[in-house]
Chain A
Amino acid sequence: MGEEFLPKTPSMVDFVKTLIKECGGSLEFWRENEAYVLVPREQLRRAAKLAYDSGAFLKTCAAVDDRQRIGGYGMYYIFGFDGGGYDVVLHVRVSEASPWVPTISDIVPAADWCELEARDMVGIDVRGRLIRRLVLPEDWPEGVYPLRKDFRYDYRPPPQRGERLELRPAERGVPIGPYHPVLHEPEYFELIAEGETVVDVYYRGFHVHRGIEKLGESPRFTYQKIPFLAERICGICGFVHSTAAIMAMEKAAGIEVPERAEFIRSIVLELERIHSHLLWVGVAAHVLGYDAGFMHVWRVREPVMIISELVTGSRKTYGLNLLGGVRRDIDKDKVGKVLKMLDRLEAEFKELAELLVSVPQIKNRARGTGILRRSEARALSVVGPVARASGLYRDVRKDYPYLAYREASFKVPLYTEGDNLARVLVRVEEVFESISIIRQLLDKLPQGPIMNEKCSAIIPADDLIPPGKYAVSAVEAPRGEDVHFLITGEGRPYRWRVRAPTYQNIPALRPMLRGDTLADAPLTIASIDPCFSCTDRVIVVDARSGRVRKVLKIPVGGGCACPL
């Protein structure tokens, strides 16, 4: 690896210099706003502390089986410096003979889940912390790691029976899930309550595992197909995943995207945000028993679906992204129609939002419940509306401007209360901001092609991406920052790591739920707008065994990982 572009961010250069001076290691590679630093394993904790104390948020960590590439295994800790708009990736190499890393979850609590995931999926042991299974099911055999390269993507190991470690809570709580009316996907929460007051929460997730990351590395997929696979990670924020994946690929290969295509992608991303927030507001009203609100939101949402169909050809799951551009243009006629429907949407939603906030039960039950303090939000690196409602100014569109967001002026709603009402208000305001962004972008829509010429159908796009390149991309999804990390391989990704926003936000539910009443728990759980299909995307589960599994009850943040 060498220098591709000179970094544009002076503060990144300074930080990398300090890092290398204090913790040793060497610079592997950098580009405009990304730096990859190889850190010795012994210095990882110091390096992580330095990054965290310098104000970085841990975006995620990714374990990679590098045996076929550079030898051994690798852990990549992606630290995002929101203030400077750059990422520093700490790379730790471990040998095949001693695949372990020290934990950093006591220094950076947000590392709790991704460390456990690295252990489950690639078999990199994490020392110095409480170990438990996070992703793999309880009957998965020991010593079989699905993301290792010698594990075939379609292999299903026979379930291992026998005694297993179960970290059960001592008391029996109120089960919410795996199937519950408020959860639209299977997840398991157990609320330990005294009377109607929740005193503790236990969580077990990852019931819906589809092995999408593994699939992306398999011979069934090529670069050109990855955006379509990524779009199927989630039914609501699919375009976000598709865009994040394609941005990582374009960044790794240095493929330029025409300005017009960038505008179209941004417009569709904002449409998706409006759709997602409207859907969420409706669900929140339903959870609070205000079904009239739920029904009217569905009515108001309809123009968004019509606009989506007009712009992309589909009401959802647009399939719009291609390497180097987009598939479909927006002509003048469509611009006019979209603007007209946006006016209607804005007027109707304004009326509805005012009505919703005036319903006494909504106001009373959302205010002061599910409080997440700013310090907790910072430690857990929560993202999106959850962070912004707790006073953390975090928005990828502002912090790491991508696509056409530099061209639009918009406000990032910020509340300091950290309660459910704040999260409602952040989302309501964001709908209006998104409408304004779409208007501005449509107004400034530049002329020109919508595809990079290099990426025509004649030259397979897959040949444009050389192997051994790295890229981190992030997109502000409706639920928060969506991070994709890519190491390119031959014709397809060598490693493709997806970190959905809910992955970052679920651990925050524990401090949010404690001390609240049982009646408010569903609203609090809903308030992070959890998307479990995004979070659970990782792994293949033996669904054919037909055995009735008992749900494993495991504490949310065990040991030192969750000091809150």
Chain B
Amino acid sequence: MLLEAAVAVALAAAGVGLAPIYDSLERKVRARLHSRVGPPILQTWYDILKLLRKELVIPEGGYFATAVVLTELGVSVGLLLAASFTLILPSLTTYVLTAVFLSALSAMTMVKSVSQNNLFSIIGGFREYSIVLSTEPFLILLILLIGSALVRGCAGLKTLVSLAPLYLTTYVMTARIPFDIAEAEPEIASGIMIELSGPTLAANELSLLIKRYVMAALPAYLILPVLTGNLAIKVGVGLAAALVTWVIYGVVAVLHGRTRAAVMLKGTSLAALALTIAFVVVELIPYG
């Protein structure tokens, strides 16, 4: 038990260290697809460290937002920890905690955006709101359904049906193109991030990358405990799945442009709804 808890914590710590490296890797892959060379593999870490060394400038009326950014970083680490425990020591608590942290993180992003004294940030916040509304309920529902199935001992291969809605919703939650509308640099000048700079921007960047890491790892972290109890397999496959998913998400982003807020709300929530219903039906068949 102690060993497993230690492994879960180590896995979470590795996630924090790996997330910026995976981001550099994504930038490298993207650059190759753009016919460019791309940055070194530690570039995102260099960026974060550079930002951390800069002067802390708090914009007018931005004290609250700065506090929220730092709390957000803590919550994202909490989410990573909860997700790691879900993989190593699955119980209903870990699934519920993952869902709660996920929800809290989204709420904080929105609070951060609308509490800044900047129109672009507020527009970005409302766009973030539309993303969260259209996808997060389904992701949370999926987490809780898989969790309850596992605890009831009735989870099996049929749980794999949940992979499709899981990958769809986690991709949207990573705020990659075409769903980066809350940031949308050419449209609303970086939206939710416009007022952030230096250490605050570094904290914001790191929490976004940790969230992306969790989103890349989550499908595997949720499904693996259902399929196997072997610790080594779970850790190995979990780590590998996070990397592969991250890179695939990066490639998907290269192939698309940015969508419109209204289109996104309709399209993705309909797709997520259909896929989640499919999973619920599969889940409930034995009881029918």
Contacts and interface: CB of A to CB of B under 8 A. Distances in A.
Given A289-B186, A361-B178, A196 B261 contact: yes
Nearest to B119: A174
A289 B35 contact: no
Contact of A296 (B35, B177, B185): B35
A131 interface: no
Interface stretch (A175-183, A224-232, A498-506): A175-183
A175 B190 CA distance: 14
Given A291-B34, A296-B35, A365-B257, A517 B184 contact: no
17 contacts: A175-B119, A182-B186, A196-B262, A287-B186, A288-B257, A289-B177, A289-B178, A289-B180, A291-B34, A299-B35, A359-B257, A361-B178, A361-B256, A361-B257, A519-B184, A519-B187, A522-B187
Given A293-B257, A296-B35, 11 more contacts: A175-B119, A181-B185, A287-B186, A289-B184, A289-B186, A290-B258, A292-B30, A292-B254, A518-B187, A520-B260, A522-B187
A143 interface: no
A297 to B, nearest CB: 11
A368 to B, nearest CB: 12
A290 B256 contact: yes
B187 A296 contact: no
A362 interface: yes
Contacts of B123: 174, 518
B274 to A, nearest CB: 19
B20 to A, nearest CB: 20
A142 to B, nearest CB: 34
Contacts of A522: 186-187
A296 B30 CA distance: 12
A227 B40 CA distance: 46
A520 B188 CA distance: 11
Given A359-B257, A361-B256, A519-B261, A295 B34 contact: yes
Interface in A262-305: 285-293, 295-296, 299
Interface in B21-61: 30, 33-36
Contacts of B256: 289-290, 359-361
B8 interface: no
B257 A290 contact: yes
A174 B119 CA distance: 7
Contacts of A296: 34-35
Interface in B255-284: 255-263
A5 to B, nearest CB: 51
Given A174-B123, A295-B35, A296-B35, A288 B258 contact: yes
A174 B185 CA distance: 15
A25 to B, nearest CB: 51
Most buried by A among B36, B120, B178, B180: B178
B217 interface: no
B240 interface: no
A516 to B, nearest CB: 10
Contacts of B119: 174-175
Given A174-B119, A175-B119, A519-B184, A362 B257 contact: yes
A18 interface: no
Interface residues of B, number: 29
A519 B260 contact: yes
B99 interface: no
B197 to A, nearest CB: 16
B255 A292 contact: yes
B110 interface: no
Contacts of A290: 177, 256-258
A276 B39 CA distance: 29
B151 to A, nearest CB: 41
Interface in A66-87: none
B223 to A, nearest CB: 29
Interface string A433-445: 0000000000000
Contacts of A287: 186-187
Interface string B163-186: 000000000000001101100111
B189 interface: yes
A290 B254 CA distance: 7
A280 to B, nearest CB: 14
A314 interface: no
Contacts of A362: 257
Contacts of B36: 295
Interface in A325-362: 359-362
Contacts of B180: 289
A519 B181 contact: yes
A548 to B, nearest CB: 15
A197 B180 CA distance: 19
A289 B189 contact: no
B260 to A, nearest CB: 5
Nearest to B122: A174
Interface string A502-541: 0000000000000001111110000000000000000000
Contacts of A518: 123, 187-188
B186 to A, nearest CB: 5
B260 A289 contact: no
Nearest to B130: A196
